[in-house]
């Protein structure tokens, strides 16, 4: 698995339109906290596919995660870029994809919000949003 900073992930997704972008957080996190966007000139922004790997509130893994990604990707030859909240869940999700035969898996270091700071807040020191990259919240 390769690890990319948020800016490197953004640039990779721009340069590789065949790549599949996956946000492996829960649906609530994806919509309520917000999610990454990749702005492509002259096209609709690229939004990550929200395919939950692990719901941290329920402490449950999605047993269909690999198959759900396969449905989106079509085959294991397409690169996959995975983002989560802080860059930890996406590592285990990426490992599951590698075990299923994916050859090119990229984890977004720091995730969408980054780690907790000393005041138990996210997004204050790192992550996709902190890097000033495009995102939306629905």
For the stretch 88-103, pLDDT in tens is 999 999 999 999 999 9
In the predicted structure, residue 56 carries a pLDDT above the cut 70: no
What's this model's pTM, rounded to 2 decimal places? 0.94
* pLDDT of the residue at 18: 96
- For the chain, report the end-to-end CA distance as a whole number of angstroms: 31
C-alpha distances in Å from residue 61, one per residue of 51, 122, 127: 11, 23, 23
Alpha carbon distance 105, 3 (integer Å): 9
Residue range 20-50, pLDDT digits in tens = 999 999 999 999 999 999 999 899 999 999 9
DSSP 32: I
């Amino acid at each position: 698995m390769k690890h990319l900073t948020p800016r490197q992930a953004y640039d990779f997704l721009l340069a590789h339109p065949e790549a599949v972008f996956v946000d492996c957080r829960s649906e609530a996190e994806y919509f309520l906290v917000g999610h990454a966007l990749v702005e492509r000139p002259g096209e609709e922004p690229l939004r990550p596919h929200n395919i939950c790997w692990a719901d941290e509130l329920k402490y449950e893994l999605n047993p269909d995660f690999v198959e759900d990604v396969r449905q989106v990707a079509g085959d294991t030859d397409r690169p996959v870029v995975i983002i989560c909240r802080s860059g930890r869940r996406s590592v285990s999700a990426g490992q599951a994809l590698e075990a299923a035969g994916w050859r090119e898996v990229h984890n977004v270091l720091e995730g969408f919000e980054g780690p907790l700071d000393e005041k138990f807040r996210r997004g204050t020191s790192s992550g996709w949003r902190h890097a000033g990259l495009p995102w939306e919240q629905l």
